[in-house]
C-alpha cells in the first residue's frame, strides 16, 4: 500500500513514520507488527514503525537489483546532483532534524551539531565520487596489446547501521554507495529506525532519487538481521556495531562471497605522558569521555596517565566532570543526556560496581536516575578491571597509572580492540614514537579520539573491524576493478 506524506511535517518527529520504503513506495504497517520508538529521556513512545518480514527484505533486494541496472549507467553529474540536493535538504531542515535526533537517540545539542557537521563535510566530498572512479591504462608484455582497467559499481550494497550516530553512520555508507552507481538496502538500528533509516529515505525521495535505488527495511535484527546480511543479491555489506554481531554479519556476507566492511567495537586509550600539557590533556579527556554519554565507538575507554601527573590529572578531571550538565537533550544547556536503553545502562553500572569491588576508587558518579547515568570517574584502576577491559560505552572514565612509555604502550595494546587512541606530550617526536607503537587504525596526538574527516581513512585493526570508510578507501570498497585488453594487431600463438 502506497502512502502520501504531509510535506509540511515530513522531516519532523511528529510526521507519520508508520511505513517502510521499498521500491519507491511507502509500505503501510497496517498488516504488520510494529516497533515502538521511545524517547530515552522521557520513555515516551513517540512513534511506531513497521517490523519488516523476510518477504519485505526479499522485495527490497528485488527492487534494488532492478533499479541498479539503470542507475549505474546514469551520468556521473546526475548521481552527484542527487547527493548535493540531499545535502541542501539537510541544511534547510537543520532545526527539525536536530530535534528529531535529540528525541529519538538522546543526542544533546553539541553531539547533534557535530553529527550534522560531520555528515555535511562528508556529503560535500561524496558529491565528487562519481568523477573519482578512475581507472588505469598500461602497456602489455604482449606486442600490440592495450590494457585498460576501469572501476565499476559493485552492485547492491547492504547497510546495517547503529543507534549511537544513526544519521551520520547510515549516510556515510548510503551516500557513497549511491554516488558510485550502486543501489542500497538499509537496515537501521531497532532503537533509531527514523533518524537512521526512514528519514534518509525521505530525503533521497525528495531529492529525486529513482525508485528502488534506496530501500529501507525497519525491524528487529534478531528477526530479519541474518536474512538481510546473507541475501544472495547483496554484493557488499557495510556494518557498524559490536564486534560480536559484526562477526556474525561478516560470516553471513562471506557465505555469499560479498565484501564485508566492518567498523566494530573499541577500547580506546588516552595516553598522557609525563611531559604533557596537563590542562590540555584533561580538556581533551573530558570531551573524549563524555560526548554523547560515551556512547561512541571512538570515545575514550581508558585514561592512561603517567604517575608523576596522576593525582593532579584525577583531581582536575573530577572537577571538570562534576560540572557537566546532565538532562534532557532538548535543553540547550545539556551536555550529558540519557543512555539509549535500560540494558545498556545496567551493563555500564555493573562494570563500575565490579571495578570498585576489585579495588578501584569511585571518585564521582556511579549511579543513575532513570536512563541518566552520572558522569563517573574511577581512579586506582587496573587494565584488567571490568570498566577498563570491556567497552563500557557510557559516561565512565577509568584512570590507570603507568611509569614508562613502554608500559603505556603495553597497557594501550593489552586489548583485543584496535580502533582509535590519543597521545599527549609536548615532545611531538616522542608522541609520534608512542603513537606508532599503538595498535590502532587511528591515533591522534595532543587531541582525543573522536575525530573524523572525509578525506582520511576511518576504521580499525584487530577486533575493531576490517575495511575503511571515507575518500578513496570507501570508493575501493564499493567499486570493483575490471580489466579489458585490446589486441590491436593479430597475435601469433604457440599452436
Residues classed as catalytic = 263, 297
C-alpha pair distances (Å), 428 with each of 188, 273, 445: 41, 11, 8
Q: State the burial class of residue 447 (Cβ atoms within 10 Å of its Cβ: 0-12, 13-18, 19+).
A: middle
Task: Give the ranges where 375-494 is alpha helix by DSSP (H).
Answer: 386-389, 405-413, 428-437, 471-478
Among 238, 284, 243, residue whose Cα is nearest residue 393: 243
**CA–centroid distance for 65 within its chain:** 25
Q: Do 13 and 42 touch, CB atoms closer than 8 A?
A: no
Closest CA to 48 of 68, 71, 30, 67: 30
379, 361 Cβ separation under 8 angstroms: yes
Burial of 139 (0-12, 13-18, 19+ CB in 10 A): exposed
Q: Which three three-digit cell numbers place residue 122?
A: 562528508
Name the one residue in this structure whose C-alpha cell is 502520501. 4
* Secondary structure percentages of the chain, helix, strand, coil, to 5: 40, 25, 35
Between CA 199 and CA 455, with CA 119 as vertex, the angle to 5 degrees is 145
DSSP run (H or E) holding 378: strand 376-379
Strand partners, 49: 35
For residue 199, the SS3 value is helix
Nearest to 300 by CA among 401, 388, 383, 432: 388
Q: How far apart are CA 292 and CA 163, in angstroms?
A: 12
Amino acid at each position: 500500500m502506497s502512502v502520501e506524506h504531509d510535506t509540511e511535517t515530513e522531516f519532523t518527529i511528529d510526521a507519520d513514520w508508520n511505513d517502510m520504503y521499498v521500491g519507491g513506495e511507502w509500505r503501510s504497517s497496517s498488516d504488520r507488527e510494529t516497533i515502538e520508538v521511545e524517547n530515552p529521556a522521557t520513555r515516551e513512545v513517540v512513534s511506531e514503525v513497521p517490523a519488516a518480514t523476510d518477504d519485505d527484505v526479499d522485495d527490497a533486494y528485488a527492487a534494488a537489483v532492478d533499479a541498479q541496472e539503470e542507475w549505474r549507467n546514469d551520468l556521473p553529474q546526475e548521481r552527484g546532483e542527487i547527493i548535493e540536493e540531499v545535502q541542501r535538504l539537510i541544511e534547510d531542515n537543520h532545526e527539525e532534524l536536530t530535534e528529531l535526533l535529540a528525541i529519538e537517540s538522546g543526542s544533546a545539542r553539541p553531539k547533534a551539531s557535530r553529527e550534522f557537521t560531520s555528515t555535511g563535510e562528508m556529503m560535500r566530498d561524496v558529491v565528487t565520487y562519481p568523477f573519482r572512479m578512475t581507472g588505469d591504462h598500461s602497456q602489455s608484455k604482449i606486442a600490440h596489446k592495450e590494457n585498460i582497467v576501469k572501476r565499476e559499481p559493485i552492485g547492491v550494497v547492504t547497510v546495517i547501521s547503529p543507534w549511537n550516530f544513526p544519521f551520520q553512520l547510515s549516510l556515510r555508507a548510503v551516500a557513497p554507495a549511491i554516488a558510485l552507481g550502486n543501489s542500497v538496502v538499509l537496515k537501521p538500528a531497532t532503537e533509531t529506525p527514523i533518524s537512521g533509516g526512514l528519514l534518509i529515505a525521505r530525503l533521497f525521495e525528495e531529492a529525486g532519487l529513482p525508485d528502488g535505488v534506496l530501500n529501507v527495511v525497519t525491524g528487529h535484527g534478531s528477526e530479519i538481521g541474518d536474512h538481510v546480511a546473507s541475501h544472495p543479491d547483496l554484493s557488499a555489506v557495510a556494518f557498524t556495531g559490536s564486534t560480536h554481531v559484526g562477526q556474525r554479519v561478516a560470516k553471513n556476507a562471506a557465505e555469499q562471497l560479498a565484501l564485508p566492511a566492518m567498523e566494530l567495537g573499541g577500547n580506546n586509550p588516552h595516553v598522557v605522558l609525563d611531559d604533557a600539557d596537563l590542562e590540555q590533556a584533561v580538556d581533551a579527556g573530558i570531551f573524549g569521555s563524555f560526548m554523547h554519554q560515551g556512547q561512541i565507538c571512538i570515545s575514550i575507554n581508558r585514561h592512561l596517565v603517567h604517575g608523576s601527573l596522576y593525582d593532579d590529572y584525577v583531581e582536575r578531571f573530577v572537577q571538570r566532570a562534576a560540572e557537566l550538565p546532565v538532562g534532557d537533550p532538548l535543553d540547550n544547556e545539556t551536555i550529558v543526556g540519557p543512555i539509549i536503553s535500560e540494558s545498556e545502562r545496567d551493563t555500564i553500572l555493573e562494570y563500575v560496581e565490579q571495578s570498585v569491588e576489585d579495588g578501584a576508587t569511585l571518585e564521582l558518579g556511579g549511579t543513575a536516575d532513570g536512563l541518566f547515568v552520572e558522569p563517573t570517574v574511577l581512579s586506582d584502576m587496573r587494565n584488567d578491571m571490568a570498566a577498563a577491559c570491556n567497552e563500557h560505552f557510557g559516561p565512565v572514565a577509568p584512570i590507570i597509572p603507568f611509569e614508562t612509555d613502554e608500559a603505556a604502550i603495553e597497557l594501550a595494546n593489552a586489548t583485543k580492540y584496535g580502533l582509535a587512541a590519543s597521545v599527549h606530550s609536548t615532545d611531538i617526536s616522542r608522541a609520534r614514537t608512542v603513537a606508532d607503537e599503538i595498535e590502532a587504525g587511528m591515533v591522534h596526538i595532543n587531541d582525543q579520539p573522536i575525530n573524523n574527516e572525509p578525506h582520511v581513512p576511518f576504521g580499525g585493526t584487530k577486533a575493531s573491524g576490517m575495511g575503511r570508510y571515507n575518500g578513496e578507501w570507501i570508493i575501493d570498497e564499493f567499486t570493483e576493478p575490471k580489466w579489458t585488453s585490446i589486441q590491436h594487431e593479430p597475435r601469433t600463438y604457440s599452436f
